[in-house]
Structure 1
């Protein structure tokens, strides 16, 4: 009996030592791991930042992974072209419409009677086609899902204003005279019909290529003057930012021998509908980076990942100040970003969490400012329409949402597809995160 008791006691000591060893190992792992969340509304560049992490700090993409992106690029080419074709009907723009050659009528009467303004491509048959829906929301909006920005903001703009656009109005008149939907003739509308004939019901399969007929039609559609005018009004409908990048090179990227470059991969767009975890070693620390879908319907998946977060990178598409949400055509995207940031930044769980804001897509922001003053959409802004002044305005509005005096918001202006620029920003961000992690550990 004595020997049995001694044996059990020894076994208990061994088990206890193993538990202690495991606890120490887990504690060491916790100290070595950095949990980082990429948050923000849809279309802000979260997945692009994750790609940059992999390219800069990870092993990048293998040859097979690069080839897999060909499918995504072909999908982008087709969906962008179809979006433009559908938007031509939604915005009522006739094919061949070139605003640079148009002299607007001086009176309403001249506008009604000016048949001479029609080009040969505009003179098409009457259209009695069905009024099909042009766009359908991919996610249903749950009204109680988001909390609103609090009343401390004196004024927050919630809707895209109805701006008078004489050129758009005139284009719509020519569209109506030309017959409207489906029956326009000429190289542009004929090519559009070819593109629409390609079955995209099941998307594009890995290894699939686009027929030459479709690729040629895509090129014709993209070069049409009316399509280019439609593209200049892309803020009025849903179109991904990579549209011009890939359609300008449609023949190249649709070639069966085409091999995507890293820059091409950074510019691809694929809606994130799952939560992905990527592990990357940065300065002997393991960064566990979680990329989650930003559309409203995806945000209910965020909650399980809120525990033990070391840092949050919140992305804002600063260029979206004149756009509306995919799920809600009455809400300005920048306002949506503010609403969501308010709820995350001031969440009790994140009171002491490192909060980093990327005001992203500054390249597109600078382009838009040249033709669209932000005061048209944010009347509270009364300053000059310069990049420096306008970017500072939006930065101050986000920083003002923070309710915790002891909490700092680290804000950076970024161009996520520019590896050189984002590499410099990420170096600063990673240093800040690691410093904060040491502080929390009492080191």
Structure 2
């Protein structure tokens, strides 16, 4: 049976189905509220080329959140553009470096630059065009191209070229599907907000949800929207350790490490994150350890005095970030520092287990005001 609610000139009949629907809605709202209360929310931040998206992809592998067939296909298409646009970036940088490819490679250079300018891509299921394989192989072997790649810090040349180009035959083979490592190394600019949920163990060993939020783009507008994330449990901030001598994509005159420090300073000393724990990843340590022997930190940070010792270099940058985090007198701020190589799944798994062990769900956190 149903019930009747009467008002002047109008009768509303409430059926048993309506009551059941209302109860079901209330139940779902309670469950959603409880899930949000027990959810750990982590905000991924860092300057361009810091490795944020790589960490997020590693988290999917670590927590068995597989890439869908459609995602794999999307990465396959992106990798082709990584090849053409990456080589195109090298060829454009060579102009400023006053370097020229060999005469035999000039036609190949024109083909790749045209592909980049026209945004040449491939459709779903379409094999990589074979007419690009030989030109890319020959350009990669070109002596002046290798000189330009070695000077990549001057022009924000993608670091994944050294991973993909030695495997061109594999990538252009019929039926090619990206491996997990291919996906890890694939570069795609993050735009908008990307949220991914993982099942993890909290400090008490109970299963909880970890929501990782990757915010990309709109660097200049950050101050207008950053307050929307004031309820996060933790900020995971990534820095490219090897970026101390590199420019940023948007501005060839700006230093990547200085840019990271500026963003870090604004986040750590923001009114919105006074009580928020921050995890600092000094990332791309593998590249840093190779680079420090050939690129003097003192050319970019005059106060550095550690010669070419990687340990001293890491300690120097760690202190710089630590001092900025406590610049406004917040001595009790929690900052956890980890030295990482985001492309190394095993190493990231160990580090992320340590990070997850420090996190608590939002219901366990106390915020002022």
TM-score, normalising length: structure 1: 0.72
CA distance in 1 between counterparts of 2:38 and 2:352 reads 19
State the Cα deviation string for residues 157-206 of structure 1 (Å, max 9, x = none).
xxxxxxxxxxxxxxxxxxxxxxxxxxxxx222232123234365244133
Per the alignment, residue 245 of structure 1 pairs with 163
Per the alignment, residue 199 of structure 2 pairs with 281
Q: Does 1:335 align with 2:258?
A: yes
User: Using a 3 Å threshold, how does the CA distance of structure 1 residues 361 and 384 change in structure 2: closer, same or farther?
Assistant: same
Alpha-carbon distance, 1:293 to partner: 1.0
- Contact kept in structure 2, 1:273 and 1:298, CA below 8 Å: no
1:272 pairs with one of 154, 179, 190: 190
CA distance in 2 between counterparts of 1:50 and 1:305 reads 21
Q: Number of aligned pairs?
A: 345
CA distance in 2 between counterparts of 1:309 and 1:331 reads 30
Q: Does 1:204 align with 2:121?
A: yes
CA distance in 2 between counterparts of 1:337 and 1:216 reads 39
CA distance in 2 between counterparts of 1:279 and 1:255 reads 34
Per the alignment, residue 192 of structure 1 pairs with 109
Q: Does 1:44 align with 2:50?
A: yes
Per the alignment, residue 350 of structure 2 pairs with 424
2:34 pairs with one of 25, 28, 31: 28
Task: Identify unmatched segments of 5+ residues in structure 1.
Answer: 97-185
Per the alignment, residue 332 of structure 2 pairs with 406
CA distance in 1 between counterparts of 2:108 and 2:132 reads 8
CA distance in 1 between counterparts of 2:85 and 2:171 reads 14
Counterparts of 1:209-248 in structure 2 under 5 Å? 209-248=127-166
User: Using a 3 Å threshold, how does the CA distance of structure 1 residues 198 and 18 change in structure 2: closer, same or farther?
Assistant: closer
User: Using a 3 Å threshold, how does the CA distance of structure 1 residues 214 and 30 change in structure 2: closer, same or farther?
Assistant: closer
Alpha-carbon distance, 1:353 to partner: 0.9
State the Cα deviation string for residues 43-96 of structure 1 (Å, max 9, x = none).
111111110111111322234432321101101000111111111212101325
Counterparts of 1:242-321 in structure 2 under 5 Å? 242-283=160-201, 284-294=207-217, 296-297=219-220, 299=222, 302-303=225-226, 305-321=228-244
User: Using a 3 Å threshold, how does the CA distance of structure 1 residues 199 and 306 change in structure 2: closer, same or farther?
Assistant: closer
Alpha-carbon distance, 1:247 to partner: 1.5
Q: Secondary structure at the match of 2:105?
A: helix
Q: Secondary structure at the match of 1:198?
A: helix
User: Using a 3 Å threshold, how does the CA distance of structure 1 residues 216 and 20 change in structure 2: closer, same or farther?
Assistant: closer
- Contact kept in structure 2, 1:292 and 1:302, CA below 8 Å: no
Per the alignment, residue 204 of structure 2 pairs with none
Residues 310-319 or 20-29, more deviating: 20-29
CA distance in 1 between counterparts of 2:25 and 2:345 reads 45
Per the alignment, residue 95 of structure 1 pairs with 101
Alpha-carbon distance, 1:307 to partner: 3.2
User: Using a 3 Å threshold, how does the CA distance of structure 1 residues 69 and 17 change in structure 2: closer, same or farther?
Assistant: closer
Per the alignment, residue 349 of structure 1 pairs with 272
User: Using a 3 Å threshold, how does the CA distance of structure 1 residues 18 and 77 change in structure 2: closer, same or farther?
Assistant: closer
CA distance in 1 between counterparts of 2:281 and 2:80 reads 29
- Contact kept in structure 2, 1:42 and 1:295, CA below 8 Å: no
CA distance in 2 between counterparts of 1:70 and 1:310 reads 34
Task: Identify unmatched segments of 5+ residues in structure 2.
Answer: 7-11, 202-206
Higher strand share: 2
CA distance in 2 between counterparts of 1:220 and 1:188 reads 7
TM-score, normalising length: structure 2: 0.85
State the Cα deviation string for residues 245-284 of structure 1 (Å, max 9, x = none).
1112122212232111101100000111121111111122
